[in-house]
Amino acid sequence: MEKKNVWETYDAKALKKLEKLNEEYRSFLDNGKTERECVDNIVNIIEDAGYVELSALAKAGSALKPGDKVYSVCMNKSVIMFHVGDKPLCEGMNILGAHIDSPRLDIKQNPLYEDGGIAYLDTHYYGGVKKYQWVTIPLALHGVVVKKDGTTVEINVGENEDDPVFFVSDLLIHLAAEQLEKKAAKVIEGEALDIIVGNKPLVIEKKSGKKDKKDEAEKATAKDAVKAGILQILKETYDMEEDDFLSAELEVVPAGKAREAGFDRSMILAYGQDDRVCAFTSLKAMLDSPKTSRTQCCILVDKEEIGSVGATGMQSRFFENTVAELMNLTGDYSELNLRRCLSRSCMLSSDVSSAYDPGYAASFDRKNVAYMGNGMVLLKFTGARGKSGSNDANAEYIAHIRDIFDKEKVLFQTAELGKVDLGGGGTIAYMLALYGMNVIDCGVAVLNMHAPWEATSKADVYETYRGYRAFMEHADSDKVF
């Protein structure tokens, strides 16, 4: 089937909408480089749009009615939104689900040390990364430090122009003959990804007990002087002791803002587009869709990059529990109605796909690969090799989605993640499919996926938003079978 470049289909009005959406998208990326920051940003956006926290309504015993907008947050790392429709919830929802975590370096619990007159923070990489890509680039530090008394200190260093940045060093080319003989997976080892945070030793006043000015001017160097200097800065800036690293969540990410890329400014180059590009387009579609007969839901979760585990990942009961609370406030709750709601829902698992890269053509099946600029991507299945670990969408459901997109003139393409015995990947789709609902993966093609800087086409971002909105307004489980 012919692949169509969607840029050729836009008139001036559509291009204006495309640029506006992508400007908002870049701002969304800049304001949410961690899952916590992303949730904070999302809550601010949706509260301005009239969404109310579900837990507050539950505590007050308030009833919900069609048209109401509510949300729930889990541990400041995941968020779910609902726009209540006209039909009872037991008839199902239309769901968009994306993840807001991205590959990065995490600071360990006992991280600060000094070696060779340089202070380091020890890290453990998070998610699938090519470790050699993270050396010698400017890095920023984001996260929170929670003290024993419950006080939370937010840290964000490296993003403003006058901020310092951090980095991981690499061996100079003149001494790298042996290093260059190693396989790519071993060129930089995981334990070598420690970030450099200082080089200036702390100098302290000598306490001689004399009042002579010459004696007062005498100084001495502290033990582990560079580390001591960093601890002094942390104390003065954040009132933080070294032990406070034990209850900190600090993430190392590439420093810098999302940028337009190419002479024609047709692309976005930024950190964290897997999967915040689908989170943004899902969120935007949710906000822009009017009330419909079916309740609309948007799930934005944590931990997908490491298997969707933990309380804030999709494998937790957070989603199921929240739907139960929602049904209770609409007066529809029973265990049977909850099961009916979940099984009769329709979902787009909003996640990215690999974009065809001509420089590495041998890794792709060109007939079944996503091309940048060819619209949103449908993936019937993901998984690896023999579809292991995959949700494999039903043909009837795909036909329903195709019908929606064609009627709304949404331009889309279908793809797989690389060649059969070479590629593979996972999403949250199979976890929602456990409820018996119809699910298919659907998102944006990404170049440089999982690298510190990833690339997307502005046209694909816009077309994906249009597709998600069309789905929210028109999907219906009654039309699938």
Please state, in angstroms and as integers, the Cα–Cα distance from residue 55 to each residue in 62, 74, 309, 322, 341, following that order: 10, 11, 23, 9, 20
Average pLDDT over residues 25-32: 97
Tracing tokens 């009017």 back to the chain, one arrives at 290
Query: Among 21-35, 141-155, 334-348, 384-398, whose mean pLDDT is lowest?
Result: 384-398
When the pLDDT of each residue in the chain is averaged and rounded to a whole number, the result is 93
pLDDT band at 3 (very low <50, low <70, confident <90, very high): confident
| Per-residue pLDDT at 380 exceeds 90 | no
| Per-residue pLDDT at 480 exceeds 80 | no
CA angle 128, 132, 137 (to 5 degrees): 105
- Residue 38, number of CB atoms within 10 A of its CB: 29
Please state, in angstroms and as integers, the Cα–Cα distance from residue 24 to each residue in 17, 281, 301, 387, 454, following that order: 11, 10, 21, 36, 17
Supply the DSSP string of 47-105, one letter for each residue. Answer: HHTT-EEHHHHHHHT----TT-EEEEEETTTEEEEEE--SS-GGG-EEEEEEE----EE
Higher pLDDT, residue 266 or 424:
266
Whole-number Å distance between alpha carbons of 37 and 31? 7
Whole-number Å distance between alpha carbons of 163 and 156? 9
| Per-residue pLDDT at 468 exceeds 60 | yes
Indicate the burial class of 97 (C-beta count within 10 angstroms; 0-12, 13-18, 19 or more): buried
CA angle 212, 216, 220 (to 5 degrees): 140
Q: What is the H or E stretch that residue 350 is in? A: strand 346-350
Average pLDDT over residues 231-259: 97
Average pLDDT over residues 335-362: 94
pLDDT band at 219 (very low <50, low <70, confident <90, very high): low
Whole-number Å distance between alpha carbons of 348 and 392? 13
Is 333:320 a contact under the CB 8 Å cutoff?
no
Length of the chain: 481
Is 359:91 a contact under the CB 8 Å cutoff?
no
| Per-residue pLDDT at 377 exceeds 60 | yes
Query: Among 65-79, 311-325, 383-397, whose mean pLDDT is lowest?
Result: 383-397
| Per-residue pLDDT at 220 exceeds 80 | no
Contacts of 336 (CB under 8 A, 6+ apart): none
Whole-number Å distance between alpha carbons of 227 and 202? 8
Query: Among 18-27, 199-208, 373-382, whose mean pLDDT is lowest?
Result: 199-208
pLDDT, residue 248, reads 97
pLDDT, residue 123, reads 98
pLDDT band at 222 (very low <50, low <70, confident <90, very high): low
| Per-residue pLDDT at 71 exceeds 80 | yes
User: 3-state class of 338 per DSSP?
Assistant: helix
Nearest to 101 by CA among 153, 11, 38, 24: 38
| Per-residue pLDDT at 217 exceeds 60 | no
Is 124:153 a contact under the CB 8 Å cutoff?
no
What's at 164, amino acid-wise? P
**CB half-sphere exposure, 164, CA atoms < 13 A:** 9
Whole-number Å distance between alpha carbons of 122 and 143? 15
What's at 473, amino acid-wise? E
Higher pLDDT, residue 375 or 224:
375
pLDDT band at 432 (very low <50, low <70, confident <90, very high): very high
φ, ψ of residue 450 in degrees (nearest 5): 75, 5
For helices 458-474 and 395-407, what crossing angle results, to 10°? 110
What's at 446, amino acid-wise? V
CA angle 126, 313, 413 (to 5 degrees): 85
- Residue 166, number of CB atoms within 10 A of its CB: 20
Tokens standing for residue 168? 């991981």
Nearest to 93 by CA among 270, 256, 298: 298
What's at 236, amino acid-wise? E
Nearest to 266 by CA among 444, 461, 414, 93: 461
Name the pTM for this structure: 0.94
Contacts of 246 (CB under 8 A, 6+ apart): 109, 110
pLDDT, residue 221, reads 66
Average pLDDT over residues 381-399: 83
Nearest to 319 by CA among 480, 96, 105: 96
Average pLDDT over residues 304-310: 91
